[in-house]
Amino acid sequence: NAGVTQTPKFRILKIGQSMTLQCTQDMNHNYMYWYRQDPGMGLKLIYYSVGAGITDKGEVPNGYNVSRSTTEDFPLRLELAAPSQTSVYFCASSPEHPPLHFGNGTRLTVT
Amino acid sequence: EDKVVQSPLSLVVHEGDTVTLNCSYEVTNFRSLLWYKQEKKAPTFLFMLTSSGIEKKSGRLSSILDKKELSSILNITATQTGDSAIYLCAVISTSGTYKYIFGTGTRLKVLA
């Protein structure tokens, strides 16, 4: 009964480094989302996907890329890390109806 | 631009108090409104309200949707320290895409 699994839990990056945040779900959900949560700012949508091979930008996509080659996996790529990308990142999934199911998040610090 | 606003931003109460959290929204093609509770990690789902289900209750928690005022409230009665969390409101809009728009959240702290 894994649900939505995110790895790693924590990561510290230096400015300019790149990394991939992994997200996988075992509920056969078509819809998957990446959010970032900054203190006092709620959740902001970075990218989302409505099915394998289909992705689209959310509110704050700059500096990020995604791919969706399978229903289960939706990795988020940071190419050139910047301090402004310090945040907690949540992956979520849903079937065609609500609610969203969230992973436990990845806390990323860029210094 | 679609927007969800929650108030207050933070709240400190004592055990046994009743609290009311507010969520107002401006979205095109409203579909439903959801409440989540976030403790240390992932937000967990509490309620979903739609045009056909404007009131929900679960134990000490209840929520009402006011479609005329474009808002919702979340009530917690007889608060306990375990209710301390961030409460998030999200609205689903179907204007072109299927997206959840979140408010900034209300941070609730319940003192023993």
Contact call for A43 and B102, based on CB within 8 A: yes
Residue B53 CB partners (closer than 8 Å, separation 6+): none
Q: Cβ B97–A102 below 8 Å, yes or no?
A: no
- Check B42 against A41: CB less than 8 A apart: no
pLDDT at B98: 65
Q: Cα torsion at B57, B59, B60, B62 (round to 10°)?
A: -10
Provide the token pair at B87.
């409460």
Residues in chain A closer than 8 A to B100 (CB atoms):
33, 45, 98, 100
Q: Which residues pair with B33 in a beta bridge?
A: B49, B91
Q: Give pLDDT, residue A1.
A: 65
> In Å, how far is B44's CA from the nearest CA of chain A?
8
The string over A63-75, giving b where at least 16 C-beta atoms fall within 10 Å of a residue's C-beta and e elsewhere, is: ebebbbeebbebb
> In tens digits, what is the pLDDT along chain B, a chain of 112 residues?
889 999 999 999 999 999 999 999 998 888 899 999 999 888 999 999 987 768 889 999 999 999 888 999 999 999 999 999 999 999 988 765 667 889 999 999 999 9
- d(CA B26, CA B93) in angstroms, rounded, equals 10
Interface of B with A (CB under 8 A): 4, 6, 9, 32, 34, 36, 41-45, 48, 88, 90, 92, 97-105
Structure tokens at B26: 């401006």
Q: Is the peptide bond before A39 cis (omega within 30 degrees of 0)?
A: no
CB contact under 8 A, A40 and B99: no
Closest to A102 in 3D by CA, of A90, A86, A85, A110 = A90
A-B C-beta contacts closer than 8 Å: 54
Task: Say whether A31 and B98 touch across the interface (CB within 8 A).
Answer: yes
pLDDT of the residue at B51: 77
Q: What is the predicted pLDDT for the residue at B81?
A: 97
B interface test, pick of A100, A101, A107 with most B CB neighbours within 10 Å: A100
Q: How far off is chain A from B69, nearest CA to CA, in Å?
A: 22
Residue B56 CB-half CA count within 13 A = 19
Phi, psi dihedral angles at A85 (to 5 degrees)? -95, 5
